[in-house]
Amino acid sequence: MQILNDTVALALEAFSGLGAQIYSARAVKSRRNEFNVDGGRFSLFRTTLDTALTLQAIKDHKRGVVSGNSFDEKAVRMAAADCLASAEAGQADPAWDMAESGGGTFEEGPYEPDMDKLFARTREMLEAIKKEYPKIMVEQLIVSHVQADSVYENSKGVRYTAKSGRYEADIMFSGHEGDKSSSFNGGGFRTASLEEPFLELGSLRKLLEDAQNQIHTTPAPGKGEGAVVFTPECLGSILYELAGNYVSDAVLIDGTSQWKDKLGQQVADPALTLRLAPGDERIVSGEKYTEEGYRSEDFALIEKGVLKQFLLSDYAARKTGHTRAPNTSYALVVEPGEKPLQDIIASIKKGLLVGRYSGGAAGANGEFSGVAKNAFMIEDGKVTFAVSETMIAGNLAGMLNQLIGISKETVQDGTSVLPWLAVNGITISGQ
């Protein structure tokens, strides 16, 4: 931590000497220890020691940002000068500023890794997959321990220090039988402990089981409007798309968001409550402070269907006259519903259960169309067969008002807490 304190102090002193008016420095030191498994076998043990320094300077309302990874005194001084020169070359905008209050010290998670145990848990997972899911081929598995220290300080006296450790994994796999195979699917988790077998974390078992059942596929019959049940994994990516389209900096600054005048209004079914909650106890190593120097706080983006907040940076908030988002994480927590998933599926006459969406970026109008991947047909309340070459199309905002239900089950993988969510009014095109 001392080198981080020294580097930040050096950068701030350099800025002060150069005549910057408002400035900040954030220094990070991290170590990653990682096992890679490729094609089902161990392939690599990787250790990376990384440093990062992010400098921001504002002078006469002009802002520059420089990032580097050298803590060498000469390099830090050069980076500060480069940052200020970038700012001076820019254009004045009174919306640039930095946090005036806040601060804190944080420490969490297993700081030092147990590599022998991490290896043992990884091998145990591979062996369990081989035994219990014999049709699965593991394309890639990456398990890591990440240790990180950071220090942030700005010229207004805001200062944070944080120290953390965590384990995480990402896996990609597909189901195989003879020459037939499923689409790839993947999952992962983040955890503070190695106590539980990895296969029991997140939704890995469900994903593996689904992949085995998705080897033999048929295109959905014909074309028509139907229901879609998004799995928690798919819901995360759909909500990410939604955020970019309706509540992010770019679309609110340029005024193309169709929700720009909807703050405080109903934008979704009252059953939907969506929070960004890095402080939730189910989120591992959640964001503690933002890169703008604010303490991260949980907040509701949509509460009972009402749009409560835009996902705006400090700059964009000033630009648009709204409030900034209280955190900049993507720790999604969607409140569960009352009904079990099975009951929701039982209420659907015709539709799809979609595990992954592969689609073009939705247009500014929210219209999307793409391929339903890792998907099953739902007919007369039952999941019947796996589909391929089937497209879905709809409107991101529109579908939130055509909610069928939200499951009471959720998947918690350490990065988000998400249920299954079913909507009507989606165009399903098969063959």
Partner 1 sequence: MIPDIAGKLRNHFAPGAHSELRAQRSLTRRVTMLQGNLTRNARTDSQGVSARVYQGGVYGFASQAELSGAAAKRALKTATDNARFLDGHAGYNLGALPDIASGAMAPQENFTDLPQKHYLDFLRPLDAYISGKYPDLASRSLVAYADSMEKQLITSDGYASHILAPRSYIYIFLNSQTDSGMPIEIFKTYGGSGTFDLRFKAPEDLYPEVDRLYEHLMKKREGVFAQAGKKTVILHGELAGMLAHEAVGHTVEADLVIGGSVAGPMLNEMVASPLVSMTDFAHSAFGGEAPLPVYVDDEGVLAEDAELIRNGRLTGYMVNRELGRHFSMRPQGNARAFAFNDEPLIRMRNTAVHPGLDKFEDMIASVEDGYYLISSNNGQADTTGEFMFGISLGYEIKNGRLGRAIFDTTISGIAFDMLKTVDRVSDRVNWSSSGFCGKKQPMPVGLGGPDLRCEVMIGGK
By CB under 8 A, is residue 2 in contact with partner 1? no
Which of 5, 9, 18, 82 forms a contact with partner 1 (CB under 8 A)? 82
Query: Cβ(227)–Cβ(351) under 8 Å?
Result: yes
Residue 96: which residues within 8 A CB-CB, separation 6 or more? 22, 58, 61, 62, 63, 315
The SS3 call for residue 319 is: helix
Residue 262 has which token pair? 């909807």
Stretch that binds partner 1, among 3-11, 247-255, 341-349, 378-386 (CB under 8 A): 247-255
By CB under 8 A, is residue 85 in contact with partner 1? yes
Distances (CA, A) of 420 to 234, 342, 354, 394: 9, 10, 10, 18
Stretch that binds partner 1, among 8-16, 160-168, 267-275, 388-396 (CB under 8 A): 388-396
**Closer to partner 1 by Cβ: residue 163 or 373:** 373
By CB under 8 A, is residue 261 in contact with partner 1? no
By CB under 8 A, is residue 194 in contact with partner 1? no
Segment 88 to 127, residues that bind partner 1, using CB under 8 A: 89-91, 93, 115, 119, 123
AA letter at 324: R
**Closer to partner 1 by Cβ: residue 104 or 363:** 363
Measured from the CB of residue 10, what is the shortest distance to partner 1 in angstroms?
Answer: 17
**What is the spatial distance between Cα 184 and Cα 220, in angstroms, rounded to a whole number?**
19
Q: Are strands 104-108 and 159-177 parallel, antiparallel or unpaired?
A: parallel
Q: At what angle do helices 73-89 and 2-18 cross, to 10 degrees?
A: 40
In this structure, the number of other CB atoms found within 10 A of the CB of residue 271 comes to 16
By CB under 8 A, is residue 323 in contact with partner 1? no
Distances (CA, A) of 163 to 1, 35, 69, 104: 9, 23, 18, 12
**Closer to partner 1 by Cβ: residue 1 or 65:** 65
Query: Cβ(173)–Cβ(136) under 8 Å?
Result: yes
Distances (CA, A) of 191 to 109, 195, 274, 282: 9, 10, 23, 10
By CB under 8 A, is residue 79 in contact with partner 1? yes
In this structure, what are the phi and psi dihedrals at residue 40, rounded to the nearest 5 degrees? Answer: 90, -5
Stretch that binds partner 1, among 79-87, 262-270, 320-328, 403-411 (CB under 8 A): 79-87
Measured from the CB of residue 137, what is the shortest distance to partner 1 in angstroms?
Answer: 4
Segment 35 to 74, residues that bind partner 1, using CB under 8 A: 35, 38-39, 41-51, 63-70
By CB under 8 A, is residue 21 in contact with partner 1? no
Measured from the CB of residue 378, what is the shortest distance to partner 1 in angstroms?
Answer: 20
Binding-site size, partner 1 (CB under 8 A): 77
DSSP designation for 266: B
Segment 127 to 186, residues that bind partner 1, using CB under 8 A: 137-140, 142, 172, 174, 176, 179, 181-184
Segment 334 to 363, residues that bind partner 1, using CB under 8 A: 358-361, 363
Measured from the CB of residue 260, what is the shortest distance to partner 1 in angstroms?
Answer: 11
